[in-house]
A and B are shown apart, each in its own frame.
Chain A
Amino acid sequence: MTAVATVPPRDETGAFRTALPHLAPFLAVFAAAMILPLVGNDYWALIGTRMAIYWVLVSGLNLVVGFAGHLAIGYVALLTLGAYTTSVLVAGNVAPPLPVFAALPIAACVGALFGVIVGLPALRLRTFYFAMSTLGFATIVTQIALAWQSVTGGGIGIAGPEFPAPFNTAWGFYALCIAIAAFTTWISANVARSRYGRALIALRDAEVAAEATGISKPKMLIAIFLLAGALAAVAGGLFASLQTYITPDAFTFDLSVLFFIAILIGGRGSILGPMLGTIILTILPEIAAPLAAWSTFLYAVLLLVIVLVMPGGIAALLDFRNRRPLAANRAIVPRPTALAEIMRKRAGETALKLRGIALSFGNVRAIDGLDLDVAPGQIHGLIGPNGSGKTTTLNVISGYYAAKAGTMTLGDDALPPGLPVLRATKGVARTFQTPRVIGEASVLENVMTGGSIEGRASFIEALLALPRNRQDERRLAAKARALLGAVGLEALADVRADRLQHSELRFIEIARALMLDPDFLLLDEPAAGLSNDEIERLAELIKTISARGVGVLLVEHHADLIFDICDYVTVLNLGRTLAAGTPAEIRVHKEVVSAYLGG
């Protein structure tokens, strides 16, 4: 998130000033592309065009690999598909010949469709399976291109599409490809900085937390696969025209490797890095001609070196901002009073009710007939020894586990078992026992992720940075900054989250959960790892949150904190309620004292 992480604007001139350092490298690359026709010959026009075409594909693939974290290693298949679709449509092998500017959009649609088909395994399974399905697709596309002679010309090949004037000269075509490349850079950057881009990174690095904020993985990934497939197919159409004549041999797996490695060299979650990676990898075999045969070997060595030595890629090298040391003696000083302006005050009538919830893991009864009421505006403490089912209860409420028996209701509505993605829309937010934040994103972006479902702009609007998307961004950023102020972390808003201390991550999670302005907040051991001062401030914060009418369910081991702030306490033991009542009652409850508190 280095090159594109522009701070959302407050006013237009300020926005331009903050965006300039991020834009400058792109403008420099564009200027270099403009100068090339003045200094280069036709040979350089060819190289430059090839670079631009590769980047059209990589800019889409980057969202899949660099942002969503899915290792698509066979994208040459979609390039092949686009190249053949365009060529065949223009040549008229299956239908009346089409003009090339009509064939390209059709190829884009075909590419988008197959981008999704190849991506289907990624919706349920990660990494190796998806890598394999793209590899398998790459294998069969080449086989089909060879075997389907009546359409593709088989091993003899087919003529690539020819563009009309003025794009039929070397530099004319170069200009067209550069224009398309500039456009795809713009749209991929738009996606990257929108809530969709943040959601992709959230799904990559903190999938569980992303689900709790209501981000639907299938929807996100399908949108990205559509876009990446379409861009790859367009690149294929341009590639076929550049080659003038295509055979299956033109689409070696080496190309796939080039695309893939360009992104990894560039660095995850960056746009500038992969762009530089594409440029470098395209030029490399040209300036080292004797090495051309070994280029794939070099790419592979490069890949290994990057994985083992420099996982952050070029983007991490260029990320100067996050190398500045942070203040060592910083303290978290929340301003809970600020919450009054951010969170609406609820009338507070609906309660969260659990009745007879039961859940077993194998033979272990994790929860065994639990009844629990969380009233609005109340802090409900949930305590008990390790393994008594506290976190499991939270996971049942937030839908990660489906209870085997029992009912959950929210006011009059039943809360369906399972389906964690739907909890955010129901107004249930949570934090996690081990903070699940996105290390590579800034603190502000982490918090903004929490408000994903509040965005109103569609994916297309985000793609083209239409007004509604810009409004979304401004609103989410403003709310996230305000919440960071309320939890006392506004000074760290632009810092990468993985540079923060453990206690600060806990407060980030609370701010992220509050982005939803939830009716119910589930906190899983928020005080673990905090200093005594911090626990006191946390207590104030939780009290203020519940004073806005939010029902808080607090799982904790710090008995003092529980007895200090809770209105009601439930004690669990072996998945059953051992005792329930006001803190004063629990404190003197005989069994609780002997089983848990000690005394």
Chain B
Amino acid sequence: MLASILASGLAAGAIYALVGVTYNTMFSTSRVMSFTAGQLAMLGGVFGSMFTLKLGMPAIAGLLLTLLGCALIGIITEFVAVRPVLKSLDQHLYVLSTLAVALMIQQVAAIKWGTEPQPFPRLLGWGSGVTDEKFWLPVLACALTILGLEYLYRRTLVGRAFVAIAEDNFAARALGLPERNLRIASYALAGVIGGVAGFSGGELLLAFFANGALLNFYGFVPVALGGLGNNRGAIIGGLALGLFQQAANFMVGGIFSSVAVFTLFIVVLLTAPQGLFGAATARRV
């Protein structure tokens, strides 16, 4: 049982962590928490199944097209729902505008793709039981994403510019960084990360339109645990959440695992509102 808990816990946790990183990537350049994060991961599964199973493309072509599609959705989100409300961040209109876009994505997926979960193809056909690829693919994808992001943020000019914008938007603009283009790029990147989450987790979660809302919540819990914009916190929080949820699932049953996650979420928000790894809030007066 321990092996099953570990395998499914880490797999689910890696998906939650990736969705958390998707939230953070959008947040870092725009200070906006977008409801599209979970939907992007849902689309990763739906697009993946559509390209490889419905249209019969090879897995690698399916992956690339999926990521392209998700990046495009990310960019559209920036134009439609984020840019127009950035002027008045303090009114939190972004909650509504990104929710609207997320609902549109979900509804189109429900109507065009169908409301039943549909299968996702086996990509490699490696492993069985607890070593099945559906368990380790998300973990591998999560690890590769972290390495890729670390390389991007530390070694490349564009990545450093992202970091600069996230640290201090005004100072970065004063230095002449193209803030708007970087923001668009970060939304495309978030789309890609969300797409990776959905594609690698496709065999586990299937191609199902309702995964969007589910992942919106389960992907946000690690962000709340780790603190807004803190990727390391989101990864640790995501994996911990996955293990916690699956342990509860195996030991006390499905109903109570979701109750346990929700309780954990509320308790963390009340005791450590800035997350376990987060920084203190800004001055109010």
Contacts and interface: CB of A to CB of B under 8 A. Distances in A.
Interface of A: 71, 73, 117, 120-121, 123-129, 131-133, 135-140, 143-144, 147-148, 207-208, 253, 257, 264, 293-294, 296-297, 299-301, 303-304, 307-308, 311, 391, 395, 400-401, 432
Contacts of B81: 304
B93 interface: yes
B143 interface: no
B95 A299 contact: no
Nearest to A401: B285
Nearest to A148: B255
Interface in B82-140: 84-85, 92-93, 95-97, 99-101, 103-104, 106-108, 111
Nearest to B104: A300
A140 B259 CA distance: 7
22 contacts: A120-B266, A124-B270, A127-B95, A128-B92, A131-B99, A132-B220, A135-B216, A137-B262, A140-B258, A143-B258, A144-B259, A253-B213, A264-B96, A293-B111, A296-B107, A300-B99, A300-B101, A300-B103, A304-B81, A307-B85, A308-B85, A308-B97
A121 B266 contact: yes
B273 A304 contact: no
Contact of B265 (A136, A293, A296): A136
B7 interface: no
B80 interface: yes
Interface in B213-271: 213-214, 216-217, 220-221, 224, 253-255, 258-259, 261-262, 265-266, 269-270
Nearest to B99: A73
Contacts of A395: 285
Chain A facing B: main interface SS? helix
Contacts of B111: 293-294, 297
Contact of B97 (A131, A257, A307): A307
B33 interface: yes
A133 B266 contact: yes
B100 A126 contact: no
Interface of B is mostly: helix
Contacts, number: 118
Nearest to A432: B285
Contacts of B266: 117, 120-121, 133
A336 to B, nearest CB: 29
Nearest to B214: A139
B155 interface: no
A264 B99 CA distance: 13
Contact of A297 (B92, B104, B262): B104
Contacts of A401: 285
A400 B259 contact: no
B97 A297 contact: no
Contacts of A120: 266, 269-270
A307 B107 CA distance: 19
Given A300-B100, A308-B85, 13 more contacts: A71-B96, A124-B270, A125-B273, A128-B95, A131-B95, A139-B217, A139-B258, A208-B284, A208-B285, A297-B107, A300-B101, A304-B80, A308-B97
Interface in B50-108: 80-81, 84-85, 92-93, 95-97, 99-101, 103-104, 106-108
Given A135-B216, A304-B101, A124 B273 contact: yes
B97 A121 contact: no
A257 B128 CA distance: 41
A376 B68 CA distance: 70
Contacts of B216: 132, 135
A73 B217 CA distance: 12
Interface of B: 33, 80-81, 84-85, 92-93, 95-97, 99-101, 103-104, 106-108, 111, 213-214, 216-217, 220-221, 224, 253-255, 258-259, 261-262, 265-266, 269-270, 273, 284-285
A71 B92 contact: yes
A274 B222 CA distance: 35
B96 A128 contact: no
A512 to B, nearest CB: 17
Contacts of B103: 257, 296-297, 299-300, 303
Contacts of B93: 307, 311
A144 B85 CA distance: 37
Contacts of A132: 216-217, 220, 224
Contacts of A147: 253-255
A303 B273 contact: no
A141 B104 CA distance: 23
A73 B98 CA distance: 13
A304 B99 CA distance: 9
B216 to A, nearest CB: 6
Nearest to B81: A304
Nearest to A136: B217
Contacts of A143: 254-255, 258
Contacts of B253: 147
A303 B100 CA distance: 6
B150 to A, nearest CB: 27
B75 to A, nearest CB: 17
A138 B217 CA distance: 10
Contact of B100 (A135, A207, A301, A432): A301
Contacts of B285: 208, 391, 395, 400-401, 432
A400 B100 CA distance: 36
Contacts of B99: 73, 131, 300, 303
